[in-house]
Every structure is written in C-alpha cells, then in structure tokens.
C-alpha cells in the first residue's frame, strides 16, 4: 500500500526536509582534504541536535552512522570512519536523513573534495543531478510511477560521456516512498523495466525519494563484507543525487530543497507547490 499524506503531514515532512538541507550544507562545507568521513558524521549529528531532530540512518538495520559517506567507486551506503581520510580530487556522495515528529526526510548530493577533478567527473555529477530533476518534473498528477523512471533514464541516455561510452545506471538500488518510515512502497527504478508495468498512478499526498545513482562504467554493484558498502563491479566512480518530493494538488514540492525546488522546476517549465511553512 502506498501511504497518502495529509497537508499537515506534508508540512511535518517539510520540516524534516529542511533539517536534511542544513545537514548537507554543513557536511559539504566540512568535506575538505584531510577531514575524515567520521568528522562529517559528527557535523551531521550536531545539526540534528541543534534542530531537535532524530537521525533516520543511525541504527537503521544496524547502520552505525548518522549519514552515508560514499567515496569514489562507492555508490551508496558508505560507513563514516576515522580511517577514511578525504583527499583533493575525491568524489564524495553524502546521503542524509532526519525525523521530525515521526516524519522523515532523505536526500543525497555529490561533493567535489578540494580541486583537481576531471571534466568527466564534473559531467558525471551534472548528468546525475539533472536526471534527478527530470524525474522530479515528471512527478505530476495523472502520471504514473514509470513516467518518473522514464524521465530519469531518458535524460541520462541522451548525454554523451566526454571520454566516450555510456553511463551506467545503477540497477540494484533506486528511489522509494517516504513518510512515516524512511523506506516505503513504491520502489522507484531509475530506468524502465517493461515487465514491471507502469506502476501506481501519481496522486496528491504521495511522497517519493527520487535518487538516481550513475557510474562511469558498469551498472552492476557488489556489497562489501561490512554488509553495507556498495561498490561498482568495475571500480569506476559514481555519483548520487536525491531529493524527497511531495505531490500536492498544486504540484510537486521538493521537501529537501531550501526553496522547495521552485527555481529549478521553473527552468523546466513546472510550477512548484507553495511552501506550507511559508
């Protein structure tokens, strides 16, 4: 069953989303050469405490961190560690979540640590981020779940890699419903798989975490012996971008973006819903 939220519940999710935005801002600023991923986890913990929010990652299935810190060929679910020291040229994905009064927010972004990144890495992050926005723009009343998947995949497939070849759309992980829990139905693929059909119709009150993960090579991954860290099979680097989005009667509201997604959606010809928090 897909959980449908009331406007009041969406407002609570917006509060959680703004905490996640603050976590991202603080962690991105702290992601400098010489910092450890454990340092970033401590920054995130302070933001949560300052806002009176709870982490939704810490303890989830036994996960030991407040955030996921995935470096270079780690796609997702990297565990913060004092032994992982960031260096100039690293590509870091930070996945963060928060709970406010029982309602969840979840988002991810890709950060360039220091300088020295190739044009190919900059393009990888741009393509991943823009495909996320293409998916968000497709979250419209009357569309179906597959329309979001199609928008994400179509955007990525239209982008040529600077060095040639194709981008790898990660197959084993994707977006999800979010609300009273962090991971809920429906599961959202970042590509179209015909045998799954079109999926549920998108209706006001539905909330989704839209999160493409894209590599410079293979779409296939494996999990390390810690039972969390996910790496690409061929060692190519990857990017991860995510926002939690609510569909309202007035259109989509990007819960984890400071402006509710208004500026970016306007570029795509979509009007964002009014912010319930003003």
Which residues are bridge partners to 239 per DSSP? 214
% of the chain at pLDDT higher than 70: 100
Q: Decide: 149 and 210 in contact? Cβ < 8 Å.
A: no
Domain region containing 146 = 7-267
The reply to whether 171 falls in a domain is yes
What's the rounded Cα separation, in Å, for the pair 89 and 102? Answer: 38
For residue 168, give the nearest of 120, 221, 130, 118 by alpha carbon.
221
Residue 126 has pLDDT above 90, yes or no: yes
**Residues in contact with 209: Cβ distance below 8 Å, sequence separation at least 6, in sequence order:** 106, 107, 175, 176, 177, 178, 188, 242, 243, 244, 245
What's the rounded Cα separation, in Å, for the pair 75 and 232? Answer: 7
Question: Is 242 known to sit in a ligand binding site?
Answer: yes
pLDDT of residue 197: 72
The reply to whether 247 falls in a domain is yes
Question: Is 39 known to sit in a ligand binding site?
Answer: no
pLDDT of residue 195: 73
For residue 196, give the nearest of 169, 233, 167, 171 by alpha carbon.
171
pLDDT band at 162 (very low <50, low <70, confident <90, very high): confident
The reply to whether 278 falls in a domain is no
What's the rounded Cα separation, in Å, for the pair 137 and 264? Answer: 9
Question: Is 106 known to sit in a ligand binding site?
Answer: yes
pLDDT of residue 194: 77
The reply to whether 233 falls in a domain is yes
pLDDT of residue 1: 84
* Total-model pTM: 0.97
What's the rounded Cα separation, in Å, for the pair 86 and 236? Answer: 18
Question: Is 120 known to sit in a ligand binding site?
Answer: no
Q: pLDDT of 64-81, one tens digit each?
A: 999 999 999 999 999 999
Q: What is the dihedral of CA 9, 131, 172, 181, to 10 degrees?
A: -10
pLDDT band at 275 (very low <50, low <70, confident <90, very high): very high
115: CATH = 3.90.230.10
**Residues in contact with 238: Cβ distance below 8 Å, sequence separation at least 6, in sequence order:** 70, 73, 74, 75, 91, 93, 124, 168, 170, 213, 214, 215, 216, 232
What's the rounded Cα separation, in Å, for the pair 167 and 164? Answer: 9
Residue 165 has pLDDT above 90, yes or no: no
Sheet containing 168-169: give its strands across: 168-169, 213-215, 238-240
Question: Is 25 known to sit in a ligand binding site?
Answer: no
In the predicted model, what is the mean pLDDT of the chain?
Answer: 97
The reply to whether 50 falls in a domain is yes
How much is the average pLDDT of 256-278? Answer: 97
The reply to whether 2 falls in a domain is no
The reply to whether 1 falls in a domain is no
Question: Is 117 known to sit in a ligand binding site?
Answer: no
Question: Is 104 known to sit in a ligand binding site?
Answer: no
In DSSP notation, 7-39 reads HHHHHHHHHHHHHHHHHHHHHHHH--TT-BHHH
How many domains are there within the chain?
1
**Residues in contact with 183: Cβ distance below 8 Å, sequence separation at least 6, in sequence order:** 176, 177
The reply to whether 190 falls in a domain is yes
Query: What are the two backbone dihedrals, phi and then psi, of residue 69, each rounded to the nearest 5 degrees?
Result: -125, 105
Q: pLDDT of 127-151, one tens digit each?
A: 999 999 999 999 999 999 999 999 9
């Amino acid at each position: 069953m897909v959980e449908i939220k009331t406007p009041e519940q969406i407002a609570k999710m917006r509060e959680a989303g703004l905490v996640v935005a603050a976590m991202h801002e603080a962690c991105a600023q702290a992601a400098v050469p010489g910092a450890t991923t454990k340092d970033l986890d401590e920054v995130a913990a302070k933001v949560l405490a300052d806002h009176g929010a709870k982490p939704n990652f810490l303890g989830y299935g036994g996960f030991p961190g407040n955030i996921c810190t995935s470096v270079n060929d780690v796609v997702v679910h990297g565990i913060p560690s004092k032994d992982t020291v960031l260096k100039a040229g690293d590509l870091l994905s930070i996945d963060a979540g928060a709970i406010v009064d029982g309602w969840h927010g979840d988002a991810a972004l890709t950060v360039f640590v220091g300088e020295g990144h190739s044009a190919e890495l900059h393009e990888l992050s741009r393509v991943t981020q823009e495909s996320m926005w293409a998916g968000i723009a497709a979250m419209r009343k009357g569309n179906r779940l597959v329309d979001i998947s199609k928008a994400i995949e179509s955007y990525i497939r239209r982008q040529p890699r600077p060095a040639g070849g194709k981008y790898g759309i990660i197959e084993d992980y994707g977006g999800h419903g979010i609300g009273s829990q962090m991971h809920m139905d429906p599961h959202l693929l970042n590509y179209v798989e015909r045998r799954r059909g079109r999926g549920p119709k998108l209706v006001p009150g539905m909330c989704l975490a839209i999160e493409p993960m894209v590599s410079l090579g293979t779409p296939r991954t494996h999990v390390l012996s810690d039972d969390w860290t996910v790496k690409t099979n061929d060692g190519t680097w990857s990017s991860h971008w995510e926002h939690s989005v609510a569909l309202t009667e007035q259109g989509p509201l990007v819960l984890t973006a400071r402006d509710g997604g208004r500026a970016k959606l306007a570029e795509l010809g979509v009007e964002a819903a009014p912010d319930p928090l003003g």
